Amino acid sequence: MKARVLKTFEGLDKPVDALLIANSVDPHLDQSFFYFFDAPSGLFEGSVAVGHPDGQLDVLTSPLEAESAHAAAKVDPSARVHTVERDSAETMLPKLLDGAARVGLNYQELTHAWYERLAKALPSVTWVDASAAIRKARAIKDAEEIERLGRAAEIGSKVGREIPSLLKPGISELDLASEIEYRMNRHGASGRSFGTIVAFGAHGAEPHYAPGASTRLAPGSSIVCDFGAFYRRYASDITRSFRFGPADPEMREVHLTVERAQEAALATIRPGVAAKDVHNAAAAVIDASPFKGRLIHGVGHSIGLAVHDGWHYGPKVDDPLEEAMVFTVEPGIYLPGKGGVRIEDDVVVTHDGYRMLTTAPRGYLEVPA
Domains and CATH numbers, the chain: 2-139 (3.40.350.10), 143-367 (3.90.230.10)
Strands across the sheet containing 48-51: 79-83, 57-61, 48-51, 18-22, 102-105, 126-129
The stretch 327-350 carries a mean pLDDT of 98
pLDDT at 219: 96
**Identity of the residue numbered 295:** L
pLDDT tens digits along 266-302: 999 999 999 999 999 999 999 999 999 999 999 999 9
pLDDT at 150: 98
**What is the pTM (predicted TM-score) of this model?**
0.96
Residue 1 has pLDDT above 90, yes or no: no
Alpha-carbon distance 82 to 303, whole Å? 31
The stretch 91-109 carries a mean pLDDT of 95
Alpha-carbon distance 184 to 187, whole Å? 5
pLDDT at 114: 96
Alpha-carbon distance 5 to 111, whole Å? 22
Alpha-carbon distance 341 to 298, whole Å? 15
Which distant-in-sequence residues (6+ apart) come within 8 Å of 261 by Cβ?
A: 281, 282, 283, 285, 286, 295, 331
